[in-house]
C-alpha cells in the first residue's frame, strides 16, 4: 500500500507516523486508517513538490515539460529516451536553484521534487529515477538512511546518486557509511559542481542515438 521497504515502514512506526501495536506473538500490526491518512498526506506533499517544480519551470521556460501521462497502475509513463531526475531537498531555495540549473543545462530532463525523506522514498518507488539528488539533513528520514534503504532494493541498482549538503566534511563523518562511492556536493559549491556531475550521471541518456544498422 505504501510502496516502501519494510525497514522504512518500521522507522515510520518508531517515529509515530503510523499507528501500530504488537500481538502476543510479537508480530507488528499497523492501523489501516493511519496508513490511509499518511497516504493522503503524502499525495498532498507530492502535489506540492510538483507545483513548486512547475513554478520554477514557468520562471525558466527552457525547462518546460509536457504533462505526465499515467499508466493503469498509477505510475507516470516514461517517454522514450527522456531521463528522469528526482530531487529530495527540503529547502525551497535549493529546490529552485537546482530547477534553474537543470533548466539551463538539461532542458530535456524530466524533473521531480520531494520535500522530505519519506515522500522522496515513496516517489523513488513510483518514478524509478535515472538520477537522484539527495540532501543529507531531511525531515522524515535523513538522506543517509534513504540511500541505505534504496541500496537494499535491486530495482534502484541503475539509479545514479548525487548528495548535496550544507555539512562540512567533518560534520558528515557520521553518515560516511552511506556516502562511500557517492559524489558529495557542499552546497556553497552547488552552482559550480552540480552541472558537471549531472553531465556525467546523464551521459548515457543524453548521448545522441545512432540509427539502427541493418544486416546485409
Instruction: Please tell me the predicted confidence (pLDDT) of residue 195.
Output: 94
Instruction: Please tell me the predicted confidence (pLDDT) of residue 41.
Output: 67
What residue ranges of the chain have pLDDT lower than 70? Answer: 2-8, 11, 15, 41-81, 206-216
Distance CA 3, CA 124 (A): 9
The CATH architecture assigned to 6-19+35-65+79-206 reads 3-Layer(aba) Sandwich (3.40)
Instruction: Please tell me the predicted confidence (pLDDT) of residue 57.
Output: 52
Instruction: Please tell me the predicted confidence (pLDDT) of residue 16.
Output: 75
pTM attached to this predicted model: 0.64
Amino acid at each position: 500500500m505504501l510502496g516502501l521497504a519494510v525497514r522504512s515502514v518500521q522507522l515510520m512506526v518508531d517515529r509515530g507516523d503510523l499507528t501500530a501495536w504488537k500481538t502476543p506473538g510479537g508480530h507488528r500490526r499497523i492501523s489501516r486508517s493511519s496508513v490511509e491518512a499518511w497516504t493522503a498526506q503524502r499525495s498532498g506533499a507530492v502535489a506540492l513538490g510538483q507545483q513548486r517544480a512547475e513554478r520554477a519551470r514557468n520562471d525558466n521556460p527552457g525547462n518546460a515539460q509536457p504533462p505526465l501521462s499515467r499508466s493503469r497502475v498509477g505510475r507516470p509513463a516514461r517517454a522514450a529516451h527522456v531521463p528522469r531526475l528526482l530531487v529530495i531537498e527540503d529547502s525551497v531555495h535549493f529546490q529552485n536553484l537546482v530547477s534553474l540549473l537543470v533548466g539551463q543545462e538539461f532542458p530535456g530532463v524530466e524533473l521531480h521534487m520531494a520535500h522530505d525523506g519519506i515522500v522522496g522514498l515513496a516517489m523513488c518507488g513510483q518514478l524509478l529515477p535515472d538520477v537522484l539528488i539527495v540532501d543529507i539533513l531531511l525531515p522524515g528520514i535523513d538522506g543517509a538512511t534513504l540511500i541505505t534503504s534504496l541500496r537494499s532494493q535491486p530495482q534502484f541498482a541503475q539509479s545514479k546518486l548525487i548528495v548535496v549538503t550544507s555539512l562540512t566534511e567533518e560534520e558528515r563523518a557520521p553518515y560516511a557509511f552511506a556516502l562511500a562511492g557517492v559524489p558529495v556536493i557542499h552546497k556553497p559549491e552547488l552552482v559550480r559542481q552540480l552541472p558537471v556531475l549531472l553531465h556525467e550521471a546523464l551521459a548515457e541518456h543524453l548521448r545522441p542515438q545512432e540509427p539502427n544498422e541493418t544486416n546485409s
